[in-house]
Chains A and B, each alone.
Chain A
Amino acid sequence: MTQGRTSRARGSRPGVSASELAQMGVCERLVLFEHRYGPQRSAQQLVAMKRGDREHRRVFLEGRIERRGRCFIATLIYGEGEEVTMLRSFRDRVMRPTRFGRALILAYYRTAPGVCRFLEWHPFLVRIMRVLLRPVVWIAAKTLANRGGRGDV
């Protein structure tokens, strides 16, 4: 049942969705037929719709990663925990003051979302990365301790 029908059935103001309106750009007759008889999809169209839904979910996941914040990989691997705080502190107090450090941060921001997208689809790599990052976190903690303080941001 189309949204227009649903709205009328409820007695509310007739409404239209963007995708229903987009059908006007496909075929106006199709709009009328679908309104009267309901959508009729071929098996091929159903497969294409399923594929579209799958890709939309995938793009949504990718979007979630983009919005998660700027400490991409560490946040994906550890969540918002002590390790991430430590690494952020290391970034801001040790790396950011130097030109080389800033260049590394920039390179990281540019590449990390892509790596995160890859890791999101390969959970076993997340576990490997967690092990690989452990010495990095340890070095960051030692460096911050030598400089004084544990480094909360």
Chain B
Amino acid sequence: MFESALIALALSAFFAWLLLWWRRRWSAWLPRELRHAELAYAEKLFRATGPIVLTAKVDRAYRLEGGVLVLLELKTRGFNRPYRSDVIELSAQRVAIMKQTGEAVARHGYVVVQTGGGRRTAHKVTLLDGAEVEALVDRRRAILEGCVQPQRTCAPNLCRRCGFAKNCTDDRVPGKDAYKRRTT
């Protein structure tokens, strides 16, 4: 009887330790702010219509107690840091959700970076506002139409790995005629 109780106790302790270990391993990456928030959307597509048509697939959106949504984007990469492109993506998602559903979305979001070892780290980022996103959409359109000269990235590593590196060796860009027209 005593032995059975001892085995049961040891098993309980082992399972409790296992639970805690897995909880630490799997849930530690989730920001404190979101741990008790409700997961409102996961992998859901939103579409904002109007002067600008913007579509965005949201990795996760959590609803806080006050009803405000907080966005979370997962990225797998070697460097454990968020980039400007992540901020733009989350900002576009924010605009799309707000326009489609009318719900309030926080001006901050989280970029969760998963590095090679499977470790996830959440980085809090401040998002662009609606006007900034619209300005970016306009600039993109102007670049594609050849009205604005596109900027080159300032990250040399990106250039080295870029599939278009050989097309991008001087200041000329595709649609150079349009560029020439503007400069002459």
Chain A residues within 8 Å of B, Cβ to Cβ:
3-4, 7, 12-37, 39-42, 44-45, 48, 51-52, 55-56, 59-60, 62-64, 66-67, 110-111, 113-115, 117-118
B124 in contact (CB, < 8 A)? no
Q: Judging by beta carbons under 8 Å apart, are B136 and A18 in contact?
A: no
The count of A-to-B residue pairs whose CB atoms sit within 8 angstroms is 163
Chain B residues within 8 Å of A, Cβ to Cβ:
19-20, 22-23, 25-27, 39, 42-43, 49, 52-57, 59-60, 74-77, 83-89, 92-93, 96, 114, 133, 136-137, 139-141, 143-144, 150-153, 155, 158-159, 161-164, 167-168, 173-175
Q: Judging by beta carbons under 8 Å apart, are B42 and A67 in contact?
A: yes
Which of B60, B92, B163 is close to A21, meaning CB atoms less than 8 Å apart?
B92
Q: How far is the CA of A40 from the CA of B161 in the complex (A)?
A: 11
Interface of A is mostly: helix
Q: Judging by beta carbons under 8 Å apart, are B175 and A32 in contact?
A: yes
Task: List, sorted by A's number, 20 A–B pairs whose CB atoms are closer than 8 Å.
Answer: A3-B55, A15-B53, A16-B54, A16-B92, A17-B56, A25-B87, A27-B150, A27-B162, A28-B151, A29-B173, A32-B143, A32-B144, A33-B167, A37-B174, A40-B163, A42-B161, A45-B161, A59-B60, A62-B26, A114-B22
